[in-house]
Amino acid sequence: MHIDIITCLPKLLESPFSDSIVKRAIAKGLVKINVIDLRAYATDRHRSVDDYAYGGGAGMVLMVEPIDRCISDLKSRRTYDEVIYMSPDGEPFRQSLANALSLKQNLIILCGHYKGVDERVREHLVTREISIGDYVLSGGELAAAVVTDAIVRLIPGVLSDETSALSDSFQDNLVAPPVYTRPADYKGWKVPDVLLSGHEAKIEAWRHEMALERTRQRRPGLLADNPDEPGNIPAGER
């Protein structure tokens, strides 16, 4: 997979990709991540990429020209499956979307900053807008790092145990069940007996029931998307 991330503040993305799972994926050659400085596509001596908004108002706006030049340059080198803009009002980022994007070959992720980007960028240059939550960050860099991490860990060969990702929260519209490790009894706080039984079928049944119960308690809205689970309430009947 090849991911190009366009930003006017590239240093914000140095740390997220220099450690842990993403770093190992890069080292294995399973993904290539390029952080591209938008200012390299500015044309004035100040390397300006933002300007005041027409009509007035507080805050600066990223200009269409350098973004268009940057995306056009990237597209001259390869064909992209998606050009993604990180935006507070974009499509909510969910595990199902991470799964779908992990199957792509080439992605561009555009990070907004200041008051966002010229609307013509959204109208003509991007193919998808994604939000990681209903809040506003100073820029799209951290959001881009979140999306990239979620995608990269799903690429075959990235995790040492590829079945691990299949049991993550949200893969089946359920949150993950409780997990325990040694010691089995700590200060009288005991690991459930079923996990010590060695009975694989019983353990899996217990994990599924605990995941379902925890989802009912903490994220009941997920169950509307999983109508096959017993006791779930369809979205139209809540």
Domain holding 200: CATH number?
1.10.1270.20
What are the two backbone dihedrals, phi and then psi, of residue 14, each rounded to the nearest 5 degrees? Answer: -70, -50
Q: Tell whether 126 and 101 lie within a shared domain.
A: yes
Q: Mean pLDDT, to the nearest integer, of 181-203?
A: 97
**Could you tell me if 11 and 66 lie in one domain?**
yes
Residues 225 and 136 in one domain: no
Same domain, 35 and 93: yes
Claim to verify: residue 136 and residue 79 sit in the same structural domain? yes
Instruction: Evaluate whether 42 touches 69 at the Cβ level (below 8 Å).
Output: no
In a domain, 164, yes or no: no
CB neighbours of residue 154 within 10 Å: 21
pLDDT at 154: 94
Task: Note the Cα 237 to chain centre separation in Å.
Answer: 31
Cα–Cα distance between 136 and 138 in angstroms, integer?
7
* 131 and 225 assigned to the same domain: no
Where does the pLDDT of residue 114 fall: very low under 50, low under 70, confident under 90, or very high at 90 and above? confident
Instruction: Give the tokens for residue 52.
Output: 């005041």
Q: Omega into 88 within 30° of 0, i.e. cis?
A: no
Let me know: does 140 contact 180? Beta carbons within 8 Å. Answer: no
Same-domain check for residues 135 and 46: yes
Q: Dihedral sign, CA of 126, 41, 117, 111?
A: positive
Residue 155 near residue 30, CB atoms below 8 Å: yes
Pairing of β 2-7 and β 32-37:
parallel
Domain count, the chain: 2
Quick check: is 162 in a domain? no
Q: The pTM is what? A: 0.85
Question: pLDDT tier at 236 (50, 70, 90 boundaries)?
Answer: very low
pLDDT in the model for residue 58: 86
- Cα–Cα distances in angstroms (integers) from residue 37 to residues 4, 66, 70, in the given order: 10, 10, 9
| Cβ 6 vs Cβ 108: under 8 Å | yes
Q: Does 161 reside within a domain? A: no
Does 220 have pLDDT greater than 70? yes
